[in-house]
Amino acid sequence: MAIDTALSSSLEQAELETFPPAHRGRPGDLGESGENREQDDRRPPLQNARRERLQYAARRVLRRPGLVVAILLLLFVIVSAAFPALFTHFDPYATAPADKLKAPSLSHLFGTDEIGRDLFTRVLYGSTLTIQATLAAVAIAVVVGLALGVVTGFLGGWVDLVLMRLVDVMLAIPRLLLALVIVTALGFGTVPISIAVAVGIIPGFARITRAEVLKVKNLPYIEAARTGGASWARVLLRHILPNSWGPVFVLAVLDFGVAILAISALSFLGFGAAPPAAEWGTLISNGRNFLITSPWLSLLPGLFVGLVVFSLNHISKSLEELQR
């Protein structure tokens, strides 16, 4: 018995020396790596999911060089519209008759116009008015189109019938012709142009919003929310609108380019801001009389507008593909 007791105490002492109490009984303990694993386990799952989604979206965007170039060009246009003085030191309204009709060079990237003003500077400052008018037009169209689409898709019945027939009538009229009629009635300037262009693109937003609302409102989770006691207003704001926004956002990006073309066309026809204010359409129009001797006066501003619209179309197409 004494021998057994001595033997058991010796085994316990050897176990204590080999496996200290601080480490014994901690399952899966791997020192510092175990601490890192515990920290990862304590991180909120929602934060990890968001980070993974952002990383996945970034990888998909970076795999498309054309999309990256289009985004960079659009960012340049937005920043130059907000802060044009960052990219040029010329005054867009200062004349220099001695430098008139100079060809593009390092000192004047787009050349000079008929009274010596730097054309690149006028394009940058003109983007301020054009982008402001475009933002106003698209914002009006999104708000009104969303309201019409939600009301018609949610209520249905005779409301849907009457409003959609009005939308169909508006779709049957060419956008530019409708904008010309409206801007003629309202008068010249940036605000009337914005309203005129917005009226022409409202029907597209109304129809696509209505289609998405009709598709979403009959899904099982909508019925589950209603069964759980949620009001129709809560269901609309928390479930239907967020799940209907994807195609509307893609259309907004696409129609942003359409609005730029329409506003530039109206400015080209003389309905835009009064001189000497520079709008993209006005700059293209001013170079018509010099197409033979100085073609860059119309060509370079027109090419700039075309690149911006092409970039917006490419971004909208890529967004649609990424949502699939």
**Stretch 278-293: mean pLDDT:** 88
Q: Which of 5-9, 126-130, 253-257, 267-271 has the lowest mean pLDDT?
A: 5-9
- pLDDT of 263 strictly over 80: yes
Q: Please tell me whether residues 121 and 215 are part of one structural domain.
A: yes
CATH at residue 218: 1.10.3720.10
Instruction: Give me the amino acid identity at 151.
Output: V
Q: Please tell me whether residues 26 and 169 are part of one structural domain.
A: no
Residue 48 lies in a domain: no
| 20-50 confidence digits (pLDDT tens) | 444 444 444 444 444 444 444 455 565 667 6
- Residue by residue, DSSP assigns 209-263 as HHHHHHHHTTSHHHHHHHHTT--HHHHIIIIIHHHHHHHHHHHHHHHHHHHHHHH
CA distance 314 to 69: 10
Give the residue, 11 or 240, on which the prediction is more confident.
240
Q: Which residues contact 179 (CB under 8 A, 6 or more apart)?
A: 193, 196, 197, 199, 200, 262, 266
Q: Please tell me whether residues 30 and 84 are part of one structural domain.
A: no
114: how many CB neighbours lie within 10 A of its CB?
15
Q: Please tell me whether residues 166 and 32 are part of one structural domain.
A: no
Q: Please tell me whether residues 206 and 307 are part of one structural domain.
A: yes
Q: Domain of 15? A: 2-42
Q: Please tell me whether residues 85 and 162 are part of one structural domain.
A: yes
Q: Please tell me whether residues 32 and 116 are part of one structural domain.
A: no
Predicted TM-score (pTM) of the model is 0.77
Q: Please tell me whether residues 38 and 86 are part of one structural domain.
A: no
Q: Which of 1-15, 77-91, 232-246, 248-262 has the lowest mean pLDDT?
A: 1-15
Number of domains in the chain: 2
| Residue 107 DSSP one-character state | S
Token pair recorded at residue 72: 């960079």
Tell me phi and psi for residue 18, to 5 degrees: -80, -40
**Stretch 303-319: mean pLDDT:** 91
CA distance 94 to 88: 13
Residue 57 lies in a domain: no
Residue 152 lies in a domain: yes
Q: Please tell me whether residues 238 and 109 are part of one structural domain.
A: yes
Residue 195 lies in a domain: yes
